[in-house]
Structure 1
């Protein structure tokens, strides 16, 4: 039976039919030299390659790896990569000394002329660049030089220094020649931290290795991360619909920290990534142009953009600024969303799911979802979210020319759709009214000042904010403003 070519995986191997007589080979379409020998009663993984010395072909060998029915294709592929790497250096990966016949010179040839073992007396190659050295070079020469964001750099650093902690002093060449070690680590990270982090760590290793190989050509061409079986990744379906918004607004209104309330609301209204929004500064806000500049989003400074602001978004920022100046006057000079952190701004946006069901990137997904009922096109939604525009037409679009009128109108349509879903909650729901009702911010700050000068003088700012909110929820309601917008 003639040899065939297939993508070798567990299912494909199990489906291979036994020949009526003799045997045939099923060769892999991805890894040259890797194949399955199919006989009448067995299936065996094997590799085939040419042994060379001084650039000259000495012999062609075929080395068996293991039983195709007892070994997984994942394990066999990893071993095949290691064997082929040794064969390319003139070394037999599984020599049998008893079968070798000594020959003059530096090589030993077997009786059946199918295996050659190159003399090992030559000087060993240097170990070469380590993972830690390669990472430092990649960070300085690629990430920092290209203006990648601090969050992006921190993500890479976390993978190398935490997840690959035991490999930091390991030469990259050693990882490339022992792919089973990489597969095992990917499996461990997946089990301990989940499939997304497992894949992400391997992408980091792949990027660092590829960058290092540009300057260190002795590194094998096969990237060590290429041997892993990537975990299945599905886009998270966690966005809210219009019917979910009233409950979410009640949860946000019940949060004790008023600045965190405004941060979550602005995340929803803008669709901005939370890590970029946390570092927003007063100098980035231009009320005349009604924009908020994001200087270092995902992708670095080259992806900087302006967020057009709707009326609701402006009121949200004004509330955040007023609360910041009262509770954190020193930090408010530098940051919009202040906090008692080392940096002075919000450093953690996670909430207990029982307290707030949706936050972070889930609000970004909600923004994109609600853009459709708001009548915003996919193209405009991409621009508002600072997504890359596919196709050759992207280079002809001047985003800032659309910003002043068109994109702001689209932003306003999304904000209106979100607030229309609340109905009359800002007037009849006491929790939401204490947050978004007319003059709510002024009353909250005045209540905090009274508490500050009264019995709770010794409490910290968080206690004062809590007292202010409690006081507001027992205050009488008042009518809505002319435009039915949340008050500042």
Structure 2
């Protein structure tokens, strides 16, 4: 009997004759994709939809809804609507059940990347937290899906990038996709059956502009006036130290007293961005040492217990400064603004591009630069360059006109450098 169409009801189906030769279909006139498959001994409710995979349309996406008699037509029609909707979203019926036990899901791939790669290699806790936010918040509904599905359907990834861009912003969308790309590439190492092309290649990246928030010499006087007006002396010294070192704020907040070597005039950063393998020493200029001594002296007065361990102590669970942000109408530049300012002011001081890279612990450009031994330059050449940068900063703070009272900058003066007598250190602190 040829396939036909009619409104499917319990009574209409009961009147359908069983097949005498081949099975035949009776399609519902009310719900496209819903039909009854009639055989020689039974009648079965079915749903069918157009399924797309890798840009190719397939017509074999069918799902069994139940036997007539065991399931009413009304119940079957309701199930059919759900199944047809799932197929339209790119979910092939039964695909989840066909996944082999132990097949990698996005959750498993993320956990392996986190523990086996990021934690093992000593990645910064904030970096790991950013990845966790991307994977467990922005991709939460994908966590228990097979990673191979994303590999086969990159369109899903492109659509998610568009959605995150619209709802959360272009920078977060790009960052989330970088995280997904890294997790997928890592999973491919132990799951060679995954599609070889990373699905993130399907997206059109959002344009990102480098934030141009650095200050020049002409901005120093007004910024130092804002800095002087801060009521918390520890926060004031923290912001000044950020500018003088060009350091990332997170690294400075975690500086312990034991990291400061006054005799060698070095500040050790044991775990910067990139982890312990990127640990480095910052050569200290005279203004930087004065800043450290003022912070130590004030810390011992305000937070005596915490100041035994931390350069910038605070009444927090960790014992050190946690939040460094200020209201912009109180302090217009802070955090990475000051890191950019350091880079700008270093150029104004006539410091070479290579020396700036070394002082800021950036990767060195070019092949020949890889032969430079940073430690051999620290105690002489790089310290002189640091002094030049600090001098430009402090001299610019005065401005052309009569500016704010900057007497606090010259407290804890250091008379003998590079070696500081213990007595002088104790007196200054």
Q: How do 1:243-322 and structure 2 match up within 5 A?
A: 243-322=218-297
The equivalent residue for 1:28 is none
**Structure 1: segments with no counterpart, 5+ residues:** 1-64, 66-78, 85-91, 98-119, 441-486
- Alpha-carbon separation, structure 1, partners of 2:167 and 2:299: 39
1:437 offset after TM fit, Å?
5.2
Q: How many residue pairs end up in the alignment? A: 332
Q: Which has the larger radius of gyration?
A: 2
Q: Quick one: structure 1 residues 439 and 300, their matched pair in 2 at CA, closer, same or farther if it must change by over 3 Å?
A: closer
Q: How do 1:133-282 and structure 2 match up within 5 A?
A: 133-282=108-257
- Alpha-carbon separation, structure 2, partners of 1:359 and 1:235: 16
- Alpha-carbon separation, structure 1, partners of 2:54 and 2:178: 24
Spell out, residue by residue over 1:112-170, the C-alpha distance to the aligned partner (whole angstroms, 9 max, x if none): xxxxxxxx99x934272122211111112211222222222222222212222222222
- Alpha-carbon separation, structure 2, partners of 1:301 and 1:425: 43
- Please say if residues 170 and 206 of structure 2, whose CA atoms lie closer than 8 Å, have aligned partners that are also in contact: yes
- Alpha-carbon separation, structure 2, partners of 1:353 and 1:389: 34
Spell out, residue by residue over 1:93-128, the C-alpha distance to the aligned partner (whole angstroms, 9 max, x if none): 33489xxxxxxxxxxxxxxxxxxxxxx99x934272
TM-score, structure 1 length as denominator? 0.64
What is the SS of the residue equivalent to 2:98?
Answer: coil
- Please say if residues 296 and 304 of structure 1, whose CA atoms lie closer than 8 Å, have aligned partners that are also in contact: yes
- Please say if residues 246 and 343 of structure 2, whose CA atoms lie closer than 8 Å, have aligned partners that are also in contact: yes
The equivalent residue for 1:124 is 98
The equivalent residue for 1:330 is 305
What is the SS of the residue equivalent to 1:414?
Answer: helix
- Alpha-carbon separation, structure 1, partners of 2:403 and 2:348: 26
Spell out, residue by residue over 1:391-444, the C-alpha distance to the aligned partner (whole angstroms, 9 max, x if none): 2223311100000000000000000001111237999624x44x435479xxxx
- Please say if residues 171 and 208 of structure 2, whose CA atoms lie closer than 8 Å, have aligned partners that are also in contact: yes
What is the SS of the residue equivalent to 2:220?
Answer: helix
The equivalent residue for 1:83 is 54
Spell out, residue by residue over 1:61-116, the C-alpha distance to the aligned partner (whole angstroms, 9 max, x if none): xxxx9xxxxxxxxxxxxx99x425xxxxxxx633489xxxxxxxxxxxxxxxxxxx
**Structure 2: segments with no counterpart, 5+ residues:** 1-49, 62-93, 414-427
Spell out, residue by residue over 1:15-39, the C-alpha distance to the aligned partner (whole angstroms, 9 max, x if none): xxxxxxxxxxxxxxxxxxxxxxxxx
- Please say if residues 290 and 410 of structure 2, whose CA atoms lie closer than 8 Å, have aligned partners that are also in contact: no
- Alpha-carbon separation, structure 2, partners of 1:192 and 1:329: 46
TM-score, structure 2 length as denominator? 0.72
The alignment status of 1:366 with 2:341, answered yes or no, reads yes
Q: How do 1:106-117 and structure 2 match up within 5 A?
A: none
Q: Quick one: structure 1 residues 266 and 415, their matched pair in 2 at CA, closer, same or farther if it must change by over 3 Å?
A: same
- Please say if residues 426 and 436 of structure 1, whose CA atoms lie closer than 8 Å, have aligned partners that are also in contact: no
What is the SS of the residue equivalent to 2:57?
Answer: coil
- Alpha-carbon separation, structure 1, partners of 2:342 and 2:196: 43
- Please say if residues 321 and 332 of structure 1, whose CA atoms lie closer than 8 Å, have aligned partners that are also in contact: yes
- Please say if residues 151 and 275 of structure 1, whose CA atoms lie closer than 8 Å, have aligned partners that are also in contact: no
- Alpha-carbon separation, structure 1, partners of 2:410 and 2:391: 16
What is the SS of the residue equivalent to 2:224?
Answer: helix
The equivalent residue for 2:366 is 391
**Higher alpha-carbon deviation: 132-141 or 190-199:** 190-199
Higher RCO, Cα 8 Å, sep 6+: 2
The equivalent residue for 2:409 is 436
The equivalent residue for 1:69 is none
The Cα RMSD (Å) is 2.7
